[in-house]
Structure 1
Amino acid sequence: MIYWMNGYKAGERGERIMKQLGSAQVYVLALVLIGLTGLLVTEPWIIRVAFLLIILVSGYTAWRLQVSRMEEKWRSTLKQQEQEDHLKLIAVVNRLRHDWMNDTQILFGYIQMKKFDNLRPYMEKIKMTMQQESNLSKLGIPSFIAYLLQFRVQSKTLELNVEVEQEVNLGQLPISHGLIERLVRQVVACIQEHTAFEEGESGTLSLEFDVQEDGLLLDFVYQGPYNREQLEQSVLARFSSKGSQYLLENDDWHEEEASVTLRLPFHI
């Protein structure tokens, strides 16, 4: 509540500053008009010079006010973006905490019920998950890592599983800057657009990175209800263009399962 009130008060201060700047600009404009009028109606050169100085000073003042207004607007935008980033980070941390609490409760349940045979397989599962999370955090593209983590938190109907079996730094691959993240975002958005969930239903999308000698494969496998014809047409329209940056390596369509593979050749 205190944080919200501080933000509200800051917003009020910003509005007051904007109003003050607006009023000041009106006064400066009036001075400029007076100066121009004086130049037109006066004869002695001294008076003309005085009016010219008024115009120059007023013009400079107006320019400074406009710059100040733009700077204030920019600072406000940056502050809002920073607050949104903080909220997204908190959501990711809460999701991770929730997952760890679930794992802990399951382990305690096995211990209390003396189901010790179930402990080892579940511990292996936790170990694999930890390794996956570690590899995910080392993909080498910070904005892409943040997108993957945030998607897992924000999406309610589509679960995104990123399969990173071994550590790979995508940022060091000889691929056009931003291409990997852009294609992943586009494929995920395309699948989301053509899912056919009814109430209570959900789907799973797995993404695997396969680094080969001459390029990188992005392997997507979706499992869940979807509009097959529409999704197939959309994928072919968006990703089948023959270009040097990427190729549609494979697309396969079945009932409640679809797979799409994109090849990104290395630029050597």
Structure 2
Amino acid sequence: MRDEQKLFKQQTDQLLKVLNQQRHDWLNHFQVLLGYLRLGRPEQGVEYLQRVTELTYQESMIARINSSLLSVFFLTFNALHTDLLLEVEIGNQVDLTEAAVTETELFRFVTDLILSVKEHVNRHEYEPASMLVSLFADERGIHFRFDLAGGLRASGLEEVEKLVHSSKQHAMDVAEWIHTNEEWVLEVVVPVVERKR
């Protein structure tokens, strides 16, 4: 019983942290809009509101990828981690139930990759590193593109290589992989299950 209570406390603490961060973010958005209105700059207020609307739309798309594990991971990551800023873009309606790998395998690969990058990224003094994760579907499958602003330390390259190798064992195809000091990009294509006609 104590283990269940401890787990519940940890989960509620994390949930409160996420909710507090979301409230803080929304208050910041309202303060920026109010500032533009007070300064008599409604055009800039409209532009800012359009950016916030696009961000909200992307969050809605993330919630609809049909993987509660990955949706929650993506939507809560920035509230729970401060040393890597994650931006997620969904290019078109992505349905992860169509993936030819299990939700657990996909979740493990994506989260292990992002957390390994977070642990081994070249750090800047004044701002956190950032990574853009893009998901889109086409005739080849579901694409996961990880685009890190900056590079990885040598300590992380071996760890990431193991993850990439394991992705190939799960029938994922590496479409692009660039790893230099200035740029780190990995694009993996997850095959989809053929639909019955």
TM-score bracket for this pair, using the shorter chain length:
0.7 to 0.9
Correspondence for 2:94:
168
The Cα of 1:102 is off from its aligned counterpart by 0.7
Alignment root-mean-square deviation, CA: 2.1
Correspondence for 1:197:
123
Correspondence for 1:124:
50
Which among 25, 39, 60 is matched to residue 113 of structure 1? Answer: 39
Correspondence for 1:99:
25
Correspondence for 1:135:
61
* Length-normalised TM-score, structure 1: 0.65
2:137 is equivalent to residue 182 of structure 1: no
Alpha-carbon spacing, 1:173–1:264, altered in 2? closer, same or farther (3 Å): closer
2:161 is equivalent to residue 236 of structure 1: yes
| C-alpha contact 2:93 2:136 (8 A) present in aligned 1 | no
| C-alpha contact 1:214 1:265 (8 A) present in aligned 2 | yes
- Matched AA of 1:238: L
Alpha-carbon spacing, 1:200–1:98, altered in 2? closer, same or farther (3 Å): same
Gaps of 5+ in 2: none
Correspondence for 1:81:
7
| C-alpha contact 1:140 1:171 (8 A) present in aligned 2 | yes
More strand by share: 2
The Cα of 1:101 is off from its aligned counterpart by 0.7
Q: How many residues align?
A: 193
1:4-43 equivalent positions in 2, closer than 5 A: none
Q: Which has the larger radius of gyration?
A: 1
Q: Secondary structure at the match of 2:103?
A: coil
Cα distance in 2 for residues equivalent to 1:94 and 1:173? 34
The Cα of 1:120 is off from its aligned counterpart by 1.8
Correspondence for 1:215:
141
Cα distance in 1 for residues equivalent to 2:97 and 2:21? 26
Cα distance in 2 for residues equivalent to 1:200 and 1:191? 18
Cα distance in 1 for residues equivalent to 2:182 and 2:113? 17
The Cα of 1:199 is off from its aligned counterpart by 3.6
Alpha-carbon spacing, 1:202–1:181, altered in 2? closer, same or farther (3 Å): same
The Cα of 1:190 is off from its aligned counterpart by 2.2
Cα distance in 2 for residues equivalent to 1:166 and 1:210? 6
Cα distance in 2 for residues equivalent to 1:172 and 1:86? 32
| C-alpha contact 2:90 2:134 (8 A) present in aligned 1 | yes
CA shift digits 1:201-255 (9 cap, x unpaired): 421011111212242111000003532x444444334313543521222111344
- Matched AA of 2:3: T
| C-alpha contact 1:240 1:247 (8 A) present in aligned 2 | no
Q: Secondary structure at the match of 2:143?
A: strand
Cα distance in 2 for residues equivalent to 1:80 and 1:244? 35
Cα distance in 1 for residues equivalent to 2:64 and 2:47? 26
Q: Secondary structure at the match of 1:240?
A: helix
Q: What's the % identity of the aligned pairs? A: 21
Correspondence for 1:6:
none
Cα distance in 1 for residues equivalent to 2:189 and 2:92? 19
More helix by share: 1
Alpha-carbon spacing, 1:145–1:177, altered in 2? closer, same or farther (3 Å): closer
* Length-normalised TM-score, structure 2: 0.87
Gaps of 5+ in 1: 1-74
Correspondence for 1:156:
82
- Matched AA of 1:188: I
| C-alpha contact 2:65 2:93 (8 A) present in aligned 1 | yes
Cα distance in 2 for residues equivalent to 1:176 and 1:245? 11
